[in-house]
Amino acid sequence: MSHPDPELLGQVEEWFAAGYFELPDESPVRRWSRAVRRRFEHRELTPYCGRSLYPSGARVPDGALMNRIVAPSYSFTWAFDRAALQMAQLCAQGDVAQTLSALDTEMTRLGESVAVWDSPHTVGGRGYTHSIPNYGRVLREGLKAHEERVVIGLASARQGGEAAKIDLYLGLVDVLSGIRTWHGRILDALERWRTDSAAQARQRDVLVAALRQVPFGPARSFYEAVVAYNFVFYLDDCDNPGRLDRELDPYYRADIRAGILSRESALDLLRRFTDNVSANDAWSAAIGGSLADGTPAYNEVTALCLDAVHGRHRPSYELGVRDDMPDSIWDAALDAVATGCGQPAFYNEAAYLEGLRDPCLGVHHEDAVWWNGGGCTETMIHGCSNVGSLDAGIHLPLILEATLKRCLPRAPSFEWLLSQFRRDANDVIEEIVAGVNALQQAKARYVPQPMRTLLIDDCVDRGVEFNAGGARYNWSVVNVAGLANVADSLAAVREVVFDRHEMTGVALLRALERDFAGDEGLRQRLRACPRFGNDLSAVDVLASEIAQHVFDAFRAQSPWRGGCFLPSCIMFTTYAAEGEKVGAMPDGRRAGEPLADSIGPVTGRDRHGPTAMLRSVTRLPLSSALGTPVLNIRFAKALFESADGRKAIRDLITTYFGLGGLQIQLSVVDRDVLADALVHPEQHEDLIVRVGGFSAYFNGLTPALKQAILERTEYTL
C-alpha cells in the first residue's frame, strides 16, 4: 500500500490524517483544509456541566482516542506522534496495519520536508508561531460574513484563473463546512443533555439560544459576545485570547445601560472564560493601554478581567500602563498580583507604541494600539499578525564558550577578545537569519494553516494563505539568551586576566575545563567580580554594549515573510535546561547550572536592592528589543498587606518605566513557602509562580527550575 487509506484511518479514529489523505493529488492548503474539516466533523465533545459557556475545559478531553497519531497543531499545522502509531500497530492487522505503516512513511517524509534547519540557537523556539484571531470581527459580523467573503473571493479567483487563490478559497469552504458541522453537533448535544436541576436546565436553554445566534451571526449582547469569543478561542485550539477587554467593552456598556446585565453576572461569565483559558494552559491577553485617538483605553471590563484572574494562572494578562492609568485599575491590578497568581504583568504603553512606529514594521497608527504579546509575550498586533513567536533563540553563552576556547590563550587585550566574540556572534546571527528564512519558506510551501487564514486579517481578502504572507503584519521575534551570564563572565575575564593580571588566560581555561575542581578559591574570586544587576557601571556598560551589538545585528536583517527581526529576552522555562548545555564559565558558574532569567541578572546575584537592579536593566538598549525583554522580580507577600507597601511597588514600577523599562512581572510568594513546596509538593498544589512571560504551577516545573526560582532575590523594599 503506497498511501494510507483514509477510510481505514477513519476506522481507527485518525480523522485529521484521514482528511489529509483524501486528496493526495491536491495542494497542501486543500489537503490540510480537508483535514481540518474531517477533524471538526468528528471532534470529540467535552462533557457539559450546566454552565454558561461551551465548549469548556481542556480542548482534548481526558482519555480522548481521536487523532492521537496525527494531531492538529496551531503552530505547525500537524504533530506526528510515532509512539502513538507504534502502540496502534501492536493490535492492527491486515489492511489497517498496512495503512499505519504507510502513514508512518508519509508523515516521516512530510516532516523531513520542513526539517531545513538544525541548530543549538533555537532557545525558546524554532519557527514557532503563536497568533491571535480577529475575535472582534467575528463578534461584529459573524462567521457568515467570513463565508460570504470566501464565496466572493472564489468567484473572483475563478474569473481570473488564479489557481493558487482558487485552491485557498476551496480549502476555506471545507474549513467552514467543518465548523458548521461541529457547531450543529454541539447544539444537538446540548439540546439532548438532561439534568435534574432546573437552574442548570435554564442555563442550558440560554446557552443554546446564544449559540443559535453566534458565532455565525453577530453578537447582540455581552453574553452572546462572550459565548462567541469562547467558541473562536476553541476553534483556534486555545492559543491567545488577545485584546479581551477592548473587544467586549461595547457589549458590556450597552447591556449595563439597558439594565439587562449586572457587574456580578459579567464577572461570573469572565471567570468561566478564564477557567477555560487556564484549563488549556493558554496564553496572553493584553488589557488597558491606549485608543487610537490617544486617550486611555481602560474600561470596566479591564477591571473585570483583573478580578476574574484572582488565583488563576492564565491567561497571561499584559496590562498597558500609562501615566494616567486610573487608581482603580492600579488597585485591581495589585489586588490580583497579591493573590499569588502572577497576574498581570506590567507594560510600558508609551514605549511600546513608540517602538511600533519603526518603519520596518509598517504598522498603521490605528493598529498600533492593538499590540499584544502572543505566547509568552512576543509582540504582535491583535487579529492581523503572523509573527515568529519564537522563530529562534541565540545562545550567547555557547558562543562565548567557543570564543574563549579559541581566542583567550592568545588574546593580546580584552578589547581584541571582545571583538572576536562580536565576530563570532555575527556569524551565528547570519546562520540564524538564513535558518529562519529557510523555515519560513518551507512553512509557506508545506505547512498552510487554514484556521488562521480564515480568522486573521487580511488573508481572506488578499487570497493569500497565512504562512505565505497573507496576514497584514509579518515579522520575526528572536530570543537573546544568557546576556547577563556573558556580561558577568567577560567582566570577570577583564578584571582577573587583563586588568589585574592575576592569572593567564590558559590557566583560567584549564580551571573551566575542570569545572573548578580543586579551584574553589578561584571560583569565589571570580564570583566577587562586578555582577550585572547591582548598578555597577563596570559590568552594566559592558552588558549594554553586547546587547546593542546583538540587537542591531538582528535589526539589520529581514525575514523572508516580511517586516524585520525583533529581538526579545524571554526565557520562560528554558533557562534551566539551556544551562545544561554550557560548561563552567568565568563568572564562577559551574557547568550545567541555569542561565540568567530573561533580561534580568543571574538568579540571586542582585544584592543591592530593587532600585539598583532596575538601574542596571535600564542601562540596556531595551527599546531595541521590542519583541519584549522580560523582567522577573519577587516580592515578599507582606508588602501587599499595607497601603505603604502597595504604594512602594507602584512607585517602583512607574520609576522603572520612567527609566525606559518595557516590561516587569511580579511573583508574590515567600521564600519559606517555596522551600516547603520543594519538600511537601502535595501541600502546595495551587502554588503559582511567574516564569519568563507567564505564570505556572510550581509543582509542574523541573527540579532545577524550582531551585532557580527559590534562589531569586526576594525584595521587601
Nearest to 451 by CA among 248, 269, 231: 231
* Mean local confidence (pLDDT), 145-168: 98
What local confidence, expressed as pLDDT, does residue 34 receive?
A: 98
Is the pLDDT assigned to residue 547 strictly greater than 90? Answer: yes
From residue 330, alpha-carbon distances to 286, 289, 336, 695 in Å are 15, 13, 10, 20
Is the pLDDT assigned to residue 458 strictly greater than 90? Answer: yes
Which secondary-structure segment (H or E) carries 562? none
Find where cell 552594566 sits.
540
Residue 124 φ then ψ, to 5°: 95, -15
Residues 449/465, Cβ–Cβ less than 8 Å: yes
* Mean local confidence (pLDDT), 105-124: 95
Is the pLDDT assigned to residue 324 strictly greater than 90? Answer: yes
What is residue 604's DSSP assignment?
Answer: T
pLDDT digits (tens, 9 = 90+) for 74-94: 999 999 999 999 999 999 999
Is the pLDDT assigned to residue 685 strictly greater than 90? Answer: no
pLDDT, averaged across the chain: 94
Distance between CA atoms of residues 313 and 318, nearest Å = 13
Q: Which three cell numbers stand for residue 522?
A: 578561584
Is the pLDDT assigned to residue 236 strictly greater than 90? Answer: yes
First-to-final CA distance of the chain: 70
What is residue 494's DSSP assignment?
Answer: I
pLDDT digits (tens, 9 = 90+) for 594-636: 999 999 999 888 888 889 999 999 999 999 999 999 999 988 8
The secondary structure of 150-217 as a DSSP string is: HHHHHHHHHHHT-HHHHHHHHHHHHHHHHHHHHHHHHHHHHHH---S-HHHHHHHHHHHHHHHHTTTS
CB-CB neighbours of 252 under 10 Å: 22
* Mean local confidence (pLDDT), 21-32: 97
**Which pTM does this prediction carry?**
0.94
3-class secondary structure, 86: helix
Q: Is the bond preceding residue 215 a cis peptide, omega within 30 degrees?
A: yes
Find where cell 567582566 sits.
491
CB-based contacts of 607: which residues, under 8 Å, 6+ apart?
531, 534, 713
3-class secondary structure, 613: helix
Distance between CA atoms of residues 515 and 494, nearest Å = 20
- The residues pairing with 689 across neighbouring beta strands, listed in sequence order, are 696
Q: At what angle do helices 610-618 and 643-658 cross, to 10 degrees?
A: 20
* Mean local confidence (pLDDT), 368-387: 97
Percent residues over pLDDT 70 in the chain: 96
Residue 344 zone, left/alpha/beta (φ > 0; ψ -120 to 50; rest) = beta
Assign 695 a pLDDT band (cuts: 50, 70, 90).
Answer: low
pLDDT digits (tens, 9 = 90+) for 215-235: 999 999 999 999 999 999 999
Distance between CA atoms of residues 189 and 56, nearest Å = 14
What local confidence, expressed as pLDDT, does residue 701 receive?
A: 74
Residue 21 φ then ψ, to 5°: -90, 0
CB-CB neighbours of 168 under 10 Å: 31
| Domain ranges for the chain | 6-113, 240-374+631-717, 393-620
* Mean local confidence (pLDDT), 520-541: 96
What is residue 238's DSSP assignment?
Answer: S
Kind of pairing between the strands at 473-481 and 663-668 = unpaired
Cα angle 78-376-64, degrees, rounded to a multiple of 5? 40
Cα angle 32-37-43, degrees, rounded to a multiple of 5? 115
pLDDT digits (tens, 9 = 90+) for 634-682: 888 888 889 999 999 999 999 999 999 999 999 887 677 777 777 777 7
Assign 60 a pLDDT band (cuts: 50, 70, 90).
Answer: confident
Nearest to 287 by CA among 412, 373, 190, 415: 373
Compute the chain's Rg from CA coordinates.
26
What local confidence, expressed as pLDDT, does residue 166 receive?
A: 98
Is the pLDDT assigned to residue 692 strictly greater than 70? Answer: no
Say which range, 337-351, 566-580, 605-619, 698-712, has the weakest mean pLDDT.
698-712
